[in-house]
């Protein structure tokens, strides 16, 4: 039996909604986020209120290239966000904003000396704008009822602002005291119940001019690629297997020779559980697959979202 038009419509809305969650709810390492369904289509005019909780343990840090060894840290954090679907030049788009908070605690070695850290507060807020360039036109709820995905290609821009907690006398902080900008290009292909996705990105960093009491910390771009295989069940539950590879982000302090660049990969799973047209849940897990010159950590997150507007009953 073929699903009804209404079921197909809400299945796409829920997929889009959880993509909005994935775009803004992530572990403290923004350059290594795993984001399935980032490039998908949905009716314009949808609003998403998002609340989630992250837990990470191991060599975590808000900065992907902190000069610490033997890090054993834990991060707990409630995260709140908002996302909105819109049209730009006839193409579907979405904008998402997140305000993360959290508590970081644990031990690490810096310059050969053991250090302890217990800190709570605001992380750097994030904003993400994505636009689908082809395969996903901006549609009203009525026009979207007959939409079927084939190929989708899009671009996005992630920006983090230096507003999080930062102590210039400490190495490990929740904020990074610098801006980051991450452009990305991604493609998505639907094949029956499967959707396959690839994306590539580069993250650029401004200098931190108040590092360890007034030093200048420069960081090279971090380059990354992601792949996702997503299976959607008849119940509209979907499960994604996620992978990412990243390299770069070598750091230089006060003009000294740059440290060795990061290099590593991560594997994850993401499960979407639609409850009804207005509410859904997402559970995600990820871990280091191979780590050469980067922090290795495990992360689990859960998030809830509420949808309104765009014809939601």
Question: What is the C-alpha separation between 50 and 46, in angstroms, rounded?
Answer: 13
108 has which bridge partners? 115
Six-digit token pair at 99?
């305000």
Buried b (16+ CB within 10 A) or exposed e, 149-172: beebebbbebebeeebbbeeeebb
Question: What is the C-alpha separation between 304 and 100, in angstroms, rounded?
Answer: 15
Distance, C-alpha 227 to centroid of its chain = 14
Overall residue count recorded for the chain in this entry = 313
pLDDT of residue 263: 85
Three-state SS for 23? helix
pLDDT of residue 48: 92
- Domain span including residue 215: 5-309
Percent helix, percent strand, percent coil in the chain, to nearest 5: 10, 60, 35
144 DSSP 8-state letter: H
Please report, to the nearest 10 degrees, the dihedral formed by the alpha carbons of residues 164, 77, 295, 39 taken in order. Answer: -90
Q: How many C-beta neighbours within 10 Å does residue 148 have?
A: 8
pLDDT of residue 62: 57
For residue 7, give the H/E element and its range: helix 5-24
pLDDT, tens digit only, all 313 positions of the chain: 334 445 555 555 555 554 544 444 444 455 467 788 988 888 899 999 999 999 988 776 556 556 666 778 888 989 899 999 999 999 999 999 999 999 988 887 766 777 788 999 999 999 999 999 999 999 988 888 889 999 999 999 999 999 999 999 888 889 999 999 999 999 999 999 999 999 999 999 999 999 988 999 999 999 999 999 999 999 889 999 999 999 988 888 888 876 778 888 899 999 999 999 899 999 999 998 766 555 678 899 999 999 998 777 6
- What is the domain count for the chain? 1
What would you report as the CA-atom Rg of the chain, rounded to the nearest whole angstrom?
A: 20
pLDDT of residue 216: 94
Six-digit token pair at 194?
């499967």
Residue position matching structure tokens 């000069």: 67
Q: Residue 180 sits in a domain of what CATH number?
A: 2.40.128.130
Strand 262-276 to strand 91-110: parallel, antiparallel, or no bridges (unpaired)? unpaired
Distance, C-alpha 190 to centroid of its chain = 22
* Predicted structure pTM score: 0.87
For residue 14, give the H/E element and its range: helix 5-24
pLDDT of residue 16: 53
The sign one gets for the Cα dihedral 205, 283, 299, 266 is: negative
Question: What is the C-alpha separation between 208 and 205, in angstroms, rounded?
Answer: 9
Question: What is the C-alpha separation between 55 and 104, in angstroms, rounded?
Answer: 10
Longest pairwise C-alpha distance within the chain: 67
């Amino acid at each position: 039996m073929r699903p009804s038009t209404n079921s197909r419509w809400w299945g796409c809305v829920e997929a889009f909604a959880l993509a909005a969650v994935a775009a803004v709810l992530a572990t403290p390492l923004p350059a290594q986020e795993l984001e399935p369904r980032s490039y998908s289509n949905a009716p314009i005019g949808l609003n998403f209120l998002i609340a989630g909780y992250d837990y990470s343990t191991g060599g975590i840090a808000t900065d992907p290239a902190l000069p610490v060894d033997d890090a054993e840290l834990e991060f707990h954090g409630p995260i709140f966000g908002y996302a909105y679907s819109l049209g730009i030049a006839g193409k579907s788009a979405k904008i998402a904003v997140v305000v993360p908070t959290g508590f970081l605690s644990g031990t690490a070695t810096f310059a050969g000396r053991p250090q302890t850290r217990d800190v709570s507060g605001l992380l750097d807020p994030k904003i993400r704008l994505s636009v689908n360039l082809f395969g996903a036109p901006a549609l009203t709820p009525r026009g979207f009822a007959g939409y079927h995905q084939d190929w989708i290609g899009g671009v996005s821009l992630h920006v983090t602002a230096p507003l999080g907690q930062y102590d210039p006398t400490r190495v490990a902080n929740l904020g990074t005291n610098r801006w980051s900008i991450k452009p990305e290009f991604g493609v998505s292909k639907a094949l029956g119940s499967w959707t396959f996705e690839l994306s590539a990105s580069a993250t650029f960093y401004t200098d931190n001019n108040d590092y360890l009491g007034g030093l200048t910390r420069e960081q090279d771009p971090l380059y990354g690629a992601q792949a996702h295989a997503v299976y959607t069940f008849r119940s509209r539950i979907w499960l994604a297997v996620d992978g990412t590879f990243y390299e770069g982000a070598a750091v230089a302090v006060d003009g000294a020779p740059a440290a060795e660049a990061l290099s590593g990969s991560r594997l994850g799973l993401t499960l979407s559980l639609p409850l009804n047209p207005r509410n859904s849940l997402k559970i995600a897990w990820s871990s280091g697959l191979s780590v050469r010159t980067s922090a290795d950590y495990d992360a689990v997150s859960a998030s809830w979202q509420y949808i309104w507007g765009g014809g939601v009953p």
